[in-house]
């Protein structure tokens, strides 16, 4: 088995850095915030060893991929376009897509816009929600949760960047990746979310200081603006996706979530995931709830890897 290799690929007018290993059916692993390809390090080798061609990009704005300057260059149209370009680069009509957090949002929209390019979809942490025709997404969240909500604070260009800059990059990464709280991520009045997040004095067993430093080093090079721009176009995404109002996700899907994920138990997310509306929007759906927090593919990497493989194994080899 070859080691993980790295290259930059031209797609949709930008260069994306990808990590790649293995041969066989193509599996794309899409990370979330604030991460890079490295979040899938366990799954890359595991799936490659089981006969898959595994590709994990740094999404636009992250790591060694390009970061367009304009926030409006980070809509779901751009993000899905990036992934279509990767499929075309590898000459593949279809691929398996695995997404976590913002990567899951991309996965849902890829399946929504171009279902013929998705062989199967595995998403972690973020379920598919039907577009509310009467309320823009970020606007409604701000109205519901107020200025202390992390998405509220990420809207204004520069605000979160200035707050993050009070800490070194490793501390910022630790504050996010090691979150253990299970309620919604809302700071008290007058406080920035980065100040509200705790810094753990002891690392959990699933990650090391050296692994966390990999993230810190990359964000020190790239900054956080590209990553934060995803949040700044949420309402533009709402406008752009109007043509798909009421559409369903028709591809086969496995959805995984940690029962200790942010807001899972308190925001009605569990009831939604286990209820009829989610299944009506995603008819070909399998749901797995694991005993973990938000960054499942690292915290519960063996379970997640095996759940991914069990889903992929259902599809006959071509």
pLDDT at 310: 98
The whole-chain average pLDDT of the chain stands at: 97
End-to-end CA distance of the chain: 21
Is residue 59 within 8 A of residue 82, CB to CB? The reply is: yes
**Taking residues 22-50, what's their average pLDDT?**
98
**10 has pLDDT over 70:** yes
- Percent of the chain whose pLDDT exceeds 90: 96
**Taking residues 104-111, what's their average pLDDT?**
98
Find the angle CA(205)-CA(208)-CA(212) to the nearest 5 degrees.
Answer: 130
pLDDT at 113: 98
Confidence of residue 1 (pLDDT cuts 50, 70, 90): low
pLDDT at 55: 98
The fold of 3-311 is Rossmann fold (3.40.50)
pLDDT at 114: 98
Is the entire prediction scored with pTM above 0.85? Answer: yes
Per-residue burial over 40-70, b = 16 or more CB atoms within 10 Å of its CB, e = otherwise: bbbbbbbbbebebbbbbbbbbbbbbbbbeee
Confidence of residue 63 (pLDDT cuts 50, 70, 90): very high
Phi, psi values for residue 249, rounded to 5°: -90, 115
**Taking residues 233-249, what's their average pLDDT?**
98
**240 has pLDDT over 90:** yes
Summarize pLDDT for 65-85 with one digit per residue, the tens: 999 999 999 999 999 999 999
Domain ranges of the chain: 3-311
Confidence of residue 267 (pLDDT cuts 50, 70, 90): confident
How far is it, in rounded angstroms, from Cα 284 to Cα 154?
A: 34
pLDDT at 87: 98
Task: List the catalytic residues.
Answer: 101, 231, 294
How far is it, in rounded angstroms, from Cα 106 to Cα 117?
A: 13
pLDDT at 318: 67
């Amino acid at each position: 088995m070859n080691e993980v290799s790295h290259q930059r690929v031209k797609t949709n007018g930008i260069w994306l850095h990808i990590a790649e290993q293995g041969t066989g059916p193509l599996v794309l692993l899409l990370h979330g915030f604030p991460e890079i390809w490295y979040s899938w390090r366990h799954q890359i080798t595991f799936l490659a060893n089981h006969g898959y061609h595994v590709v994990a990009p740094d999404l636009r704005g992250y790591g060694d991929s390009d970061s367009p300057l304009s926030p409006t260059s980070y809509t779901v149209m751009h993000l899905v376009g990036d992934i279509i370009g990767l499929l075309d680069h590898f000459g593949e009509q279809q691929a398996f897509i695995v997404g976590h957090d913002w990567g899951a949002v991309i996965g849902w929209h890829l399946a929504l816009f171009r279902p013929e390019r998705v062989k199967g979809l595995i998403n972690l942490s973020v379920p598919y929600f039907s577009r509310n025709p009467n309320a823009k997404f970020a606007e409604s969240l701000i109205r519901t949760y107020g200025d202390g909500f992390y998405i509220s604070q990420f809207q204004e260009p520069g605000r979160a960047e200035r707050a993050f800059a009070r800490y070194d990059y490793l501390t910022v990464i630790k504050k996010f990746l090691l979150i253990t709280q299970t309620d919604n991520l809302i700071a008290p009045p007058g406080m920035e979310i980065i100040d509200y997040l705790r810094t753990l004095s002891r690392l959990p067993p699933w990650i090391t200081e050296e692994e966390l430093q990999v993230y810190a080093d990359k964000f020190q090079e790239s900054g956080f603006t590209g990553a934060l721009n995803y949040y700044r176009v949420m309402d533009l995404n709402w406008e752009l996706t109007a043509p798909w109002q009421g559409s369903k996700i028709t591809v086969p899907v496995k959805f995984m979530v940690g029962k200790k994920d942010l807001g899972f138990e308190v925001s009605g997310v569990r009831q939604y995931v286990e209820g009829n509306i989610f299944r009506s929007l995603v008819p070909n759906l399998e749901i797995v709830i694991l005993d973990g927090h938000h960054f499942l593919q690292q915290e519960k990497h063996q379970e997640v890897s095996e759940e991914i493989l069990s889903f992929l194994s259902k599809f006959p080899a071509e």
